Amino acid sequence: MAEYVDAWVPGWTPETDGILKELGYSAAVAKAPTKAKTSAAWIDASNVQQAAKKTLDSGGRLVYAAGGAESVNRLIVESHEVDVIWNTHESEVRDLLNYRAGGLDDAAVNIMAEHKIMMGFSLSSFLSAQYGRQRAFWLGRARQDVRFARKKKVPVVVASGAADEWGIRAPMELIAFGMLLGLNQEEAVNSVLKNPLCLLKKAENRGDPNVILKGLTVTSWGSTSQPKSKRQYGWY
C-alpha cells in the first residue's frame, strides 16, 4: 500500500488522526506544534534566517514559509533552513501580458534547487479564492512556477492546507489537483508520496544525534558518550 503523506494538516486530534487513516494517509505534517507527531513551524519572512534557526534550535523539525511577492520569496529561498515555500501564487502584483506574477523567477528557483527547498501548493488556497477570475489567475501562476520547478528539478509538494480536520482531502484528490497545476502523473503522485516522505526523513535526521550533516553520519561514538542534543540547522 502506498504511503501517502499530507504535508499540511491543521493539527493533531483524535478526529484528525481518524480522518487521515480513513482517507488512506500513512503520515502527515501538522501546522500546529505537537510533540506526538511531526509538525512544521511557520516563520515570518521578514527575518527568515534568524527565525528559522531559532525554530530549529527550540526543537522544531521542519520549517515552512508562506510565499508572496518576489522580493519576499527571494529572502525565503536564500535560507538553507527553509524546507518548503508555500503558495507563491498568492502575490498581489498584477500579471503582465505574457508573464504571470507567480512570485518566483528562474534565478529564485535555481537557488531553491541548490538549497533543497521544495515548492508547495495547498488545495485550500485555491478553494478560498474570492472569485473565479482570481482562481484562474492563480492557476496560471502556479502552472508557470511548476514549469520552473520541473526545469530546475525542484520537488513539488501538494497538500490539503486545511483549516480544520473536515477540510483534509483524499490523496487521489490532491493528485488530480497536482495534474491541474501542470504536473504529469508521476510528478503528481510524488507530490503526495515520495516528496513529503523526504520531508519526514529530513525531520527525522534533524532529530537524530548520529546525523551530523548531509552525508556525515556517526556510525560509532566509541568511548565518547552520544550527545543528548545537537545543532538543528544546517545541510540535511
CATH 1.10.10.60 for domain 4-208, yes or no, is: no
What pLDDT is recorded for position 34?
A: 67
Tell me what pLDDT residue 98 has: 67
Q: What was the pLDDT predicted at 95?
A: 65
Q: What pLDDT sits at residue 2?
A: 80
Tens-digit pLDDT string for the chain (236 aa):
689 999 999 888 888 999 999 999 999 999 866 665 788 888 877 788 888 888 887 777 899 999 888 888 999 999 989 999 999 988 776 666 666 767 888 999 999 999 999 999 999 999 998 888 889 889 988 999 999 999 999 999 999 999 999 999 999 999 999 999 999 999 999 999 999 999 999 999 888 888 887 788 888 888 888 887 777 776 66
Position of cell 527565525? 51
pTM of the model: 0.92
DSSP the chain: ---EEEEEES---HHHHHHHHHHTEEEEEESS--SSS-BEEE--GGGHHHHHHHHHHTT--EEEEE--SHHHHHHHHT-SS--EEE-TT---SPP-SS----S--HHHHHHHHHHTPEEEEEHHHHHT-SSHHHHHHHHHHHHHHHHHHHHHT--EEEE---SSGGGPPPHHHHHHHHHHTT--HHHHHHTTTHHHHHHHHHHHHHH-TTEEETTEE-S--TTSPPPS-----S--
Q: How far is CA 224 from CA 133, 227, 232, in A?
A: 62, 9, 20
Name the residue with cell 516528496: 195
Which stretch of DSSP H or E encloses residue 109? helix 106-115
Closest to 166 (Cα-Cα) out of 4, 5, 13, 7? 13
Q: Are 152 and 110 in contact (CB under 8 A)?
A: yes
pLDDT at 44: 76
